[in-house]
Structure 1
Amino acid sequence: MSGWLTEAVPRGRIAAFRTLIYLFVAADLVVFTPWVRTRASVPGELYQPLLVGRLLPLPTPTPTVVAVIFWALLLLAVLAATGRAPRLLGWTVCALYLEWMIIAMSYGKVDHDRFGLLVALAVLPTAGRARHGDTTRTEAGGWALRVTQIAVICTYFLAAWAKLRFGGLDWLTGSVLARAIIRRGTDLADLVAQVPYLLIVAQFGIVAFELFSPVVFLLPARWRLAMVGFFYSFHVVTIATITISFAPHLAAMTSFLPLERVRPLVWARRLAGRDTSGSTSTDVDTAATPPDQERIGAGTKPTPLDDQAPALGRPAGP
């Protein structure tokens, strides 16, 4: 079990995951949850903190408190995305974002799509330093990703448990999706709703999918990625029909993906005609290109003597 929890992964994957998560936190503040800043104008007596907010000596949200958390978190999340001071910046971002979520969710509504992201922020500082493209494997980083993965799957499984616990079997045969479509459905959802019994079938499918989501850990790597792809497709359909994005959950779910293979800066340099060292190149990396091909890429054609040099046993060139 300990070997599974700490399965080593490339440090480059940790670096990529860290950058993605911290950039998402910055984007979350200005794109997905800017409404949290409006809590500063709500009377203090309406603030009913969550349990963690009651256990910790956290202040009642005021304009000053909310503004300080917003700007500090925005700046530090961008800095943390660079990978510098991973523990200091990581723990600070984790604490500030937790407080941001306590403020957001202490007025009557709690979103369960934040669980995986909060766990990711809590464990990323323990992964230590990591550089993009580093193939060295790390067990500490593997543990951070595994714990995040468990949190992501728990979000699914516990959602199904909550449906059956509070709604019972009636949740499966009720009008849950129909109400969601009435409240926030799209034109596509209206078309789906016209198919008899399709919404009921979809509700059975949702609960089955959530209950069996832990199977992802039992699958071989290729099939595991395929199942994670299915998870993403499920959320694409959710966004397209009832406009619920689960964006924080989707960000945390990238912990399943081989993110070290995604090198946007390298791709950008190649598109600009430059290799990773900043020198001009063709589509082939010059670091692994034979000398003759380098001269060809630079516009110099090989001479007959160059072609014969290897066979004559003497150095190529004049």
Structure 2
Amino acid sequence: MTRWLFSPVPRARIAAFRTLVYLFIPLDLVFFSAWIRSHGNLPGNLYQPLVAGRLLHLPTPTHLLVNAIYYALIPLSLLAATGRAHRLLGWTVFALYFEWMIIAMSYGKIDHDRYALLVALAALPTAGRARHGDQTETEAGGFALRATQIAVICTYFLASIAKLRYGGLSWLTGATLTRSFIRRGTKLARWLLQIPGFTTVSQFGIMGFELFSPVVFFVRPRLRYLIVAGFYLFHLLTFCLITISFIPHQVAMAAFLPLEKVTPIVWLRRLRSRLSPDAPTASTPANPTGQPAT
């Protein structure tokens, strides 16, 4: 088990994943979770903190607190994306985003699309130094990615358990998707409603997909990538049908991908070195001996 949890990965994969996650945080605050800022203007008696908020005695959100977190997270996340001071910046971003999530989910609505992202933010500060293009393997980085992967799969598997616990078999055979399609469905969803039995079959498919999602850990890499591609396709279809976005979850799901093969930072370094005035050109060949030309 320890060998599996700490399976080494290239440091370049950690660097790429770290950049992706931290660059997403400002986008999340500005575009995807900007509604959380309005909680700072709500009456304090509406705040019913989650268990973690109660145990940590976190303060009741105010206009000042919410905006302070908002304006601190954006620049700190951008700095963390560079990989510098990865522990200090990483833990700071995690703490602030954790409080941001407590503020978001303590007013009666709890989303589960940010759990894996929060785990990724907690794990990345432990991954150690990582540089784009560095193929040296790291066990610490492997654990950070594995923890994120487990959180991604737990999101699916535990969602299926919750469906069975609270909805029972009627979640499978009832009008679950039909109600969603009618309430917030797109034109495509309303068209699919005309197909007899489509929603019932889809409900069985969703349950099976979530219950058996842990199989992704027990297959070969090529099949694993196909399964992960299926996960992304599932969320794309969900958005096309009922406009529910799981973008934070999908960002965390990149922990399954060989991100070290996508190297824009390395490409930029090479381009900069070629454009540098000190770089050798075709008309001015390099002098490997370092001796003055005669």
| Structure-2-length-normalised TM-score | 0.92
Alignment of 1:23-172 (within 5 A): 23-172=23-172
The whole-number CA distance in structure 2 between the counterparts of 1:191 and 1:53 is: 44
**Residue type at the aligned position of 2:54:** R
**2:174 match:** 174
**Residue type at the aligned position of 2:51:** L
The whole-number CA distance in structure 1 between the counterparts of 2:184 and 2:77 is: 32
CA contact (8 A) 2:115 2:249 kept: yes
**2:259 match:** 259
**1:275 match:** 271
CA contact (8 A) 1:266 1:276 kept: no
Alpha-carbon offset, residue 265 of structure 1: 3.8
In structure 1, list runs of 5 or more residues that go unmatched: 281-285, 288-293, 299-318
CA contact (8 A) 2:8 2:142 kept: yes
In structure 2, list runs of 5 or more residues that go unmatched: 284-294
SS in 2 for 1:113: coil
The whole-number CA distance in structure 2 between the counterparts of 1:264 and 1:184 is: 38
Alpha-carbon offset, residue 268 of structure 1: 6.1
**1:243 match:** 243
Alpha-carbon offset, residue 43 of structure 1: 0.3
Alpha-carbon offset, residue 79 of structure 1: 0.7
**1:7 match:** 7
The whole-number CA distance in structure 1 between the counterparts of 2:266 and 2:48 is: 48
Check if 1:205 corresponds to 2:205.
Answer: yes
Alpha-carbon offset, residue 264 of structure 1: 2.3
**Residue type at the aligned position of 2:264:** P
Alpha-carbon offset, residue 276 of structure 1: 5.5
CA contact (8 A) 2:132 2:266 kept: no
**1:227 match:** 227
| Structure-1-length-normalised TM-score | 0.86
The whole-number CA distance in structure 1 between the counterparts of 2:267 and 2:204 is: 43
- 1:170/1:244 Cα in 2 relative to 1: closer, same or farther (>3 Å)? same
The whole-number CA distance in structure 2 between the counterparts of 1:33 and 1:238 is: 19
**Residue type at the aligned position of 1:180:** S
**Residue type at the aligned position of 2:244:** I
* CA RMSD between the two structures: 1.9
If you compute each CA radius of gyration, which structure gives the higher value, 1 or 2? Answer: 1
**2:287 match:** none
CA contact (8 A) 2:22 2:80 kept: yes
**Residue type at the aligned position of 1:252:** A
CA contact (8 A) 2:132 2:265 kept: no
- Identity percentage over the alignment? 64
Runs of 4+ in 1 over 6 A off after TM superposition: none
The whole-number CA distance in structure 1 between the counterparts of 2:273 and 2:16 is: 20
1:27-64: CA deviation from partner (whole Å, max 9, x where unpaired): 11001000111011100011000000000121111111
SS in 2 for 1:37: helix
